[in-house]
Amino acid sequence: MHVNIVGAGIIGLAVAFELESRAHTVTLIDPAPGQGASYAAAGMLAPAAETVWGNGPLHQLLAASNAAYPQFIERIESATGQRPDYLQNSTLVVAAEPADREALHELAELQISLGLSAQKLLPSQARKLEPALAANIAGAVLCQDDHQVDPRSIVKILLEHLRPHLVEERAQALVTDGKRTTAVRTASGRILEAEQTIVATGLGTLDGLNELPLRPVYGDILRIQGPAGPPLITRTIRGIVHREQVYLVPRRDGSLVLGASVREDRQQAVNIGAMHLLLDNARKLVPGISDCTLNEATARARPATPDDRPLLGRLDPGLLLCTGYSRHGVLLAPLGATLTADLAHGHQSHPLHQAVDPHRFANAT
Amino acid sequence: METRNITELDIHSDPFQIAGRTLSSRLILGTGGASSLTTLESALRASGTELTTVAIRHFSAAGAGNVYELLQRNNVIALPNTAGCFTARDAILTAHLAREALETNWIKLEVIADEHTLLPDPLELHAATEQLVADGFQVFAYTNDDPALAQRLQDAGVAAIMPAGAPIGSGLGILNPHNISTIASRAQVPVILDAGVGTASDAALAMELGCDAVLLASAVTRAHNAPLMARAMKDAVRAGRAARLAGRIPRRDTALASSPAEGMMQTLVGDFS
């Protein structure tokens, strides 16, 4: 079977890789592959820490995909000879103030009740694990199964591997025969035919596609260089500081990712107020970041759905949707790729299909 | 004290007149802080609110699938606010942008003094009020619980006075009930308790003190079960309003039996004499 995949961010690439490993041929269509939300993402794989009150079955998706990650990484390595920067080094969630600790501990109980790994620590225990933490933190929770990957390393490796199948053009429209999607027309007028077309464009638009329940939720994120010498921190530190969220993800090379804001103001450039707040809050948790240097400040939009779960399912006999991963695209890439490839085969046996059904909002609109 | 002839049944059709409109709900919900739009929508429906505030600087009105579309399909009015403004100049500019984007001359005016307290800056607030009223806005002024300032804002022509019960997001309830009731008793425009509500009893107390409505956000959107807390707030506002209209008994330092003891004694004495 030949499959078109519109969008070569981490989702489109993971789907293409999955289909290729099932002996299908693919065409990836993207004018700027890997330059959307995947380019900004920190790559936290945090099914426990991302589970909050009222987000329903999302945690099942997050946990299932997290469990699939080691194999996903192994398969990329064995197919390409290159290993993405994947670190199974856990996550420490830290509360700055007593009220933050109360909220953090209540969340930990929710996470534990859902079978996720979260363990309350005393501030002194947390500081033994990570001595760079501020002396006055109020509380901490250790999430043993929450890990991290550098999304740029996955994108780079998969893009190199799949480059022969890449059409670096904007997909303009879906072509149908009245019953099913048969091809994609590019901006230059090329017609790319395929048995199946998979839309993984995030916020990108495509003529012939019905309006999707997606909106841009912008995030600002900084990449900083740690001081010389031993690494500042050895695992991901997430914080709740006066109710605001902040995180620091340490990379193997001594750099760190500091994020991320949540904005719905449609301002595409990095926002100064958001950056200030991120730095201020991060410094309250890890004072040593004052000695770091700034490598990069990036803003991108996350393709968000009303309930933060992706839109994954069949739209017509030749068309599948695999987008709307909100803030969970990197973590959900392996699961999303498996579910999408199953759908391309006509299988819909996975119990999680219902949670991502793109038609689930029909009664709300 | 308002004296109205109202029965238990009438309380459900107790209209709330605000800036030339009539609402049936006296609960106003803020939209900030919900974990997702789906959660926000469930909470809005459970609250029965007809009016919500939206931070125009944080939520662009452009595009589809956003919070404004959600409000529209639920017949909830969007009241834009100037959250995030620290000067009269920024607040006035934001109000004009909101009027253009949402085609409404209603504005909830917030001019914040500092990030630590998030309390209103009274001087900037008054200056912005004066200008916005002159520009034809219906100004809903978020203010301190200061009766003197409330009076000055009313003199400047606000459509509603919105005193803070406690700092925004603190959930500390109503820290100075006496001031809130003083503001409510002197006001000629609606008084909406704004900020500080932590749980249902705070909302009920606001209504008992004579406020015309209650505005809250975090107490609902950041509750573990947002729709259930929204329902609790709806009931609390109704209960507080009913208690206010019913007229509470005076507070006393000593006990007073609910059944009159004197008459009973006289009867007994009469029987045996």
Alpha carbon distance B190, B158 (integer Å):
10
Query: Which amino acid would we find at residue B243?
Result: A
Residue B8 phi, psi dihedral angles, 5° rounding? -55, -35
- pLDDT-derived band at B261, boundaries 50, 70, 90: low
User: Using the beta-carbon criterion (under 8 Å), do A266 and B65 form an inter-chain contact?
Assistant: no
User: Using the beta-carbon criterion (under 8 Å), do A364 and B62 form an inter-chain contact?
Assistant: no
Lowest mean pLDDT among A52-56, A163-167, A361-365, B171-175: A361-365
Q: Is B220 helix (H, G, I), strand (E, B) or coil?
A: helix
User: Using the beta-carbon criterion (under 8 Å), do B36 and A211 form an inter-chain contact?
Assistant: no
B39 touches chain A (CB under 8 A): yes
Q: Is the pLDDT of residue A55 over 50?
A: yes
Q: Is the pLDDT of residue A200 over 50?
A: yes
Contact B40, B67 (CB under 8 A): yes
A213: number of Cβ within 10 Å: 21
Please tell me the predicted confidence (pLDDT) of residue B267: 55
Q: Report which DSSP code applies to B112.
A: B
B108 is catalytic: yes
CA dist A136 → A95, A284, B115 (Å): 10, 9, 21
Contact B195, B142 (CB under 8 A): yes
Closest CA to B38 of A59, A355, A55, A283: A55
Which residues sit opposite A102 in a β-bridge? Answer: none
A53 touches chain B (CB under 8 A): yes
Tell me the per-residue pLDDT of B119-159, one tens digit each, with 9 for 90 and over.
999 999 999 999 999 999 999 999 999 999 999 999 999 99
The arithmetic mean of pLDDT across residues A130-137, rounded, is: 96
Please tell me the predicted confidence (pLDDT) of residue B1: 45
Please tell me the predicted confidence (pLDDT) of residue A365: 41
Query: What are the strands of the beta sheet with A166-167, ordered from one edge?
Result: A166-167, A25-29, A2-6, A196-199, A319-323, A311-316
The arithmetic mean of pLDDT across residues A319-346, rounded, is: 96
Residue A256 phi, psi dihedral angles, 5° rounding? -135, 150
Both structure tokens of B3: 């004296």
Tell me the per-residue pLDDT of B42-88, one tens digit each, with 9 for 90 and over.
999 999 999 999 998 888 888 888 888 899 999 999 999 999 999 99
Contact B190, B108 (CB under 8 A): no
Please tell me the predicted confidence (pLDDT) of residue B229: 96
Which residue in A has a C-alpha nearest to residue B43's C-alpha?
A54
Q: Is the pLDDT of residue A185 over 80?
A: yes
| A365 contacts in chain B (CB < 8 Å) | 73
Tell me the per-residue pLDDT of A291-321, one tens digit each, with 9 for 90 and over.
999 999 999 999 999 999 999 999 999 999 9
Please tell me the predicted confidence (pLDDT) of residue A248: 98
Please tell me the predicted confidence (pLDDT) of residue A135: 93
**Dihedral of CA A152/A158/A163/A165: which sign?**
negative
Q: Which residue stretches of chain A are H helix?
A: 10-21, 37-40, 58-80, 98-113, 123-129, 151-162, 272-285, 329-344
Tell me the per-residue pLDDT of B10-34, one tens digit each, with 9 for 90 and over.
655 788 999 999 999 999 999 888 8
Q: Is B183 helix (H, G, I), strand (E, B) or coil?
A: helix
By the 10 Å C-beta count (0-12 exposed, 13-18 middle, 19+ buried), A270 is classed as middle
Nearest CB to B65 within list A55, A110, A214: A214
**Greatest pairwise CA separation for chain B in angstroms:** 88
- B260 to chain A, closest Cα gap in Å: 49
Give Cα B229 to chain centroid, integer Å: 16
Higher-pLDDT residue of A349 and A325 is: A325
The arithmetic mean of pLDDT across residues B102-109, rounded, is: 94
Which residues sit opposite B192 in a β-bridge? Answer: B213
Residue B270 phi, psi dihedral angles, 5° rounding? -60, -40
């309380």: which residue's tokens?
A: B11
Please tell me the predicted confidence (pLDDT) of residue B64: 81
Query: Which amino acid would we find at residue A345?
Result: H
Choose the catalytic residue: B30, B43, B68, B108: B108
Contact A194, A49 (CB under 8 A): no
Closest CA to B57 of B87, B95, B88: B95
B64 touches chain A (CB under 8 A): yes
Query: Which amino acid would we find at residue A89?
Result: N
Mean pLDDT of chain B: 90
Nearest CB to B36 within list A55, A212, A264: A55
B167 touches chain A (CB under 8 A): no
User: Using the beta-carbon criterion (under 8 Å), do A106 and B224 form an inter-chain contact?
Assistant: yes
User: Using the beta-carbon criterion (under 8 Å), do B60 and A264 form an inter-chain contact?
Assistant: yes
Alpha carbon distance B92, B98 (integer Å):
10
Alpha carbon distance B76, A362 (integer Å):
20
Please tell me the predicted confidence (pLDDT) of residue A159: 98
A106 touches chain B (CB under 8 A): yes
Torsion angle (degrees, nearest 10) of CA A233, A236, A239, A245? 130
| A263 contacts in chain B (CB < 8 Å) | 58
The arithmetic mean of pLDDT across residues A154-165, rounded, is: 98
């299988």: which residue's tokens?
A: A347
Q: Is the pLDDT of residue B263 over 80?
A: no
Q: What's the length of chain A?
A: 365
Both structure tokens of B18: 């605000």
The arithmetic mean of pLDDT across residues A198-209, rounded, is: 92
Alpha carbon distance A355, A63 (integer Å):
14
Alpha carbon distance B153, B44 (integer Å):
30
Please tell me the predicted confidence (pLDDT) of residue B60: 85
ipTM of the complex: 0.78
Q: Is the pLDDT of residue B273 over 50?
A: no
Q: Is the pLDDT of residue A166 over 70?
A: yes
Closest CA to B43 of B63, B67, B61: B67
CA dist A257 → A134, A226, A250, A297 (Å): 18, 10, 7, 10
Q: What percent of chain A has pLDDT over 90?
A: 93
| A107 contacts in chain B (CB < 8 Å) | none
A360 touches chain B (CB under 8 A): no
Both structure tokens of B215: 């505005």
Q: DSSP letters along A31-80, please?
A: SSTT-SHHHH---EE-TTTT--TT-TTHHHHHHHHHHHHHHHHHHHHHHH
CA dist A78 → A45, A161, B23 (Å): 22, 12, 65
Please tell me the predicted confidence (pLDDT) of residue B12: 59
Both structure tokens of A288: 């040593």
Which residue in A has a C-alpha nearest to residue B34's C-alpha?
A54
- A70 to chain B, closest Cα gap in Å: 29
- B146 to chain A, closest Cα gap in Å: 27
Q: Which helix (H) or strand (E) holds A173?
A: strand A171-176
| A54 contacts in chain B (CB < 8 Å) | 35-36, 39, 224-226
Q: Which residue stretches of B157-254 are H helix?
A: 177-186, 200-208, 218-221, 226-246
Q: Is A204 helix (H, G, I), strand (E, B) or coil?
A: coil
Query: Which amino acid would we find at residue A20?
Result: E
CA dist B236 → B41, B145, B228, B239, B242 (Å): 20, 21, 12, 5, 10
User: Using the beta-carbon criterion (under 8 Å), do A308 and B41 form an inter-chain contact?
Assistant: no
- pLDDT-derived band at B8, boundaries 50, 70, 90: low
